[in-house]
């Protein structure tokens, strides 16, 4: 569905596609594991400076996860169009477009961070509102670079134009994506943490992160492709 029509069935239809294409979680699994490793290393590496360098590792982790999300989006796009995604093809496409994807990831992180920072001038609510607005506006930037073939310099304007043409559908997509992400990586993980040792906790963190990114990649890829006037077979 395009324009102002909300494709509510998308969020249910993604589930059987997900079940047939668990490979969508492969890159996010690797990225989440790398993030755990970087977090573990940041302690001893930056202990002498009071952990001041930990923020750099956290940023690198977000970039790695963003690139993994792009790979998952490419895989998801293939899965929607052909019934089955191809991990190797997704990796090869992401590698060819790596420069644009990484710039899109960094730009998305930067713009949402700045929006939250500016919004914080008027308080916590202002920070949340402007961050949410930035997510809404630039939600399609990474898919535009990954599956749309849009150069990084144009990915953000493409995303903004797409969101402005489809404000309600984009808002719903952003809300569902955030709910899935927080629901799995914060609330579900927090509930399970009470019954797990540290090793099991980190394993659950990696798995739930990958599951969340995989589902979000499926719904974002489908909606972006629909709005970009591409047809699925």
Sign of CA dihedral 161, 225, 113, 121: positive
Predicted local distance difference test score (pLDDT) of residue 63: 96
Mean pLDDT of 121-138: 92
Predicted local distance difference test score (pLDDT) of residue 100: 95
Predicted local distance difference test score (pLDDT) of residue 45: 59
Mean pLDDT of 34-59: 70
pLDDT 10s digits, 147-163: 998 998 899 999 999 99
CB atoms within 10 A of CB 6: 14
DSSP code per residue over the chain: --TT---TTHHHHHHHHHHH-GGGGHHHHHHHHHHHHHHHHHHHHHGGGTTTTHHHHHHHHHHHHHHHHHHHHHHHHHHHHHSS--HHHHHHHHHHTHHHHHHHHHHHHHHHHHHHHHHGGG-HHHHHHHHHHHHHHHTTHHHHHHTS---HHHHHHHHHHHHHHSHHHHHHHHHHHHHHHHIIIIIIHHHHHTT--HHHHHHHHHHHHHHHHHHHHHHHHHHHHHHTT----
Predicted local distance difference test score (pLDDT) of residue 44: 62
CB atoms within 10 A of CB 202: 17
pLDDT at 229 over 80: no
Tokens matching residue 84 = 């089955």
127 within 8 A of 204, measured Cβ to Cβ: no
161 within 8 A of 176, measured Cβ to Cβ: no
Q: Give dist(CA 208, CA 205) in Å, integer.
A: 5
Predicted local distance difference test score (pLDDT) of residue 43: 62
21-30, 98-107, 223-232: segment of lowest average pLDDT? 223-232
Q: Note the pTM of the prediction, 2 decimals.
A: 0.90
Predicted local distance difference test score (pLDDT) of residue 57: 80
Predicted local distance difference test score (pLDDT) of residue 5: 64
Task: List, in order, residues 6 or more apart from 118 with CB less than 8 Å away.
Answer: 130
Average pLDDT, the chain: 89
Predicted local distance difference test score (pLDDT) of residue 55: 74
pLDDT at 95 over 60: yes
pLDDT 10s digits, 183-221: 999 999 999 888 899 889 999 999 999 999 999 999 999
pLDDT 10s digits, 21-33: 999 999 999 999 9
Percentage with pLDDT > 90 across the chain: 75
pLDDT at 92 over 60: yes
């Amino acid at each position: 569905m395009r324009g102002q029509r909300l494709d509510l069935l998308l969020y249910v239809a993604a589930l059987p596609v997900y079940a047939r294409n668990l490979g969508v979680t492969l890159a996010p699994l690797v990225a989440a594991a790398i993030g755990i490793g970087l977090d573990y290393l940041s302690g001893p590496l930056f202990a002498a400076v009071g952990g001041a360098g930990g923020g750099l590792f956290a940023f690198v982790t977000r970039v790695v996860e963003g690139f993994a999300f792009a790979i998952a989006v490419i895989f998801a796009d293939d899965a929607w169009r052909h019934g089955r995604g191809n991990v190797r093809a997704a990796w090869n496409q992401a590698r060819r477009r790596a420069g644009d994807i990484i710039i899109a990831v960094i730009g998305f992180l930067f713009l949402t961070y700045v929006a939250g920072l500016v919004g914080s001038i008027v308080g916590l609510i202002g920070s949340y509102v402007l961050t949410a607005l930035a997510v809404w506006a630039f939600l399609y930037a990474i898919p535009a670079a990954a599956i749309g073939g849009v150069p990084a310099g144009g990915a953000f304007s493409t995303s903004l134009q797409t969101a402005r043409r489809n404000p309600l559908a984009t808002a719903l997509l952003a809300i569902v994506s955030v709910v899935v992400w927080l629901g799995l990586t914060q609330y579900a993980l927090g509930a399970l943490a009470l019954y797990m040792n540290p090793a099991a906790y980190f394993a659950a963190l990696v798995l739930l992160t990958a599951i969340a990114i995989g589902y979000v990649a499926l719904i974002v890829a489908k909606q972006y492709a629909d709005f970009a006037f591409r047809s699925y077979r």
